[in-house]
Amino acid sequence: MCCRCSRGVKIIPDIPSPHEIPDRLVDAADILILPGGAPGAKTFCQSEDVLRLIREFRNEGKWVAAICAGTTALVESVKSSRAEGEAAKKCKVTSHPSVKQEIVDAGWTYADDSERVVVDGKIITSRGPGTAMLFSLTIVEKLAGKAKRDEIQGPMICAETL
């Protein structure tokens, strides 16, 4: 099974479909990362499997990260009547500007537009393809520490300001 990305790149996912997500995937993973892309994020929002996974990760105290339009799936997971406990909490987030209004309308605290990555509790969000490097390195830092981030970042020849 192959997944065709919005620009035509064909990727083979490790799990072929949301219906085949193993029970208790949350036990095997440290973080759930939601990529962006407007059509992809819409698919996430409409998938009960994905929304359940987001709630599971939050309720088990695991990290959840979202970038670009991906933040809308996080927002959607809280709307559902099944959201309880940690998974029902609205925190401070950012996203692609094109979906900012719907996130604000849903009652979430929206970070200042100058914040390119936002960490609130165990939720990490970011803005778009141009902030993906900062988003990724922040995830590494939060999960594996600043030393590991520096070790990875050095040889990548990143810009001085991400």
- Residue 119 to residue 5: CA distance in whole angstroms: 27
Which positions are catalytic?
68, 96
Cβ-based nearer residue to Cu ion, 87 or 137: 137
- Residue 147 to residue 142: CA distance in whole angstroms: 11
Distances (CA, A) of 50 to 8, 110, 147: 23, 23, 32
Site for Cu ion in 98-117 (CB under 5 A): none
If binding is defined by CB under 5 A, does position 40 make contact with Cu ion? no
Which tokens sit at 139? 């995830």
Residue 36: which of a copy of itself, Cu ion, none does it interact with, CB under 5 to 8 A by kind?
A: Cu ion
Q: Which residues bind a copy of itself (CB under 8 A)?
A: 2, 9-12, 96-98, 116, 127-131, 133-134, 153, 155-162
Q: Which residues bind Cu ion (CB under 5 A)?
A: 36-37, 68
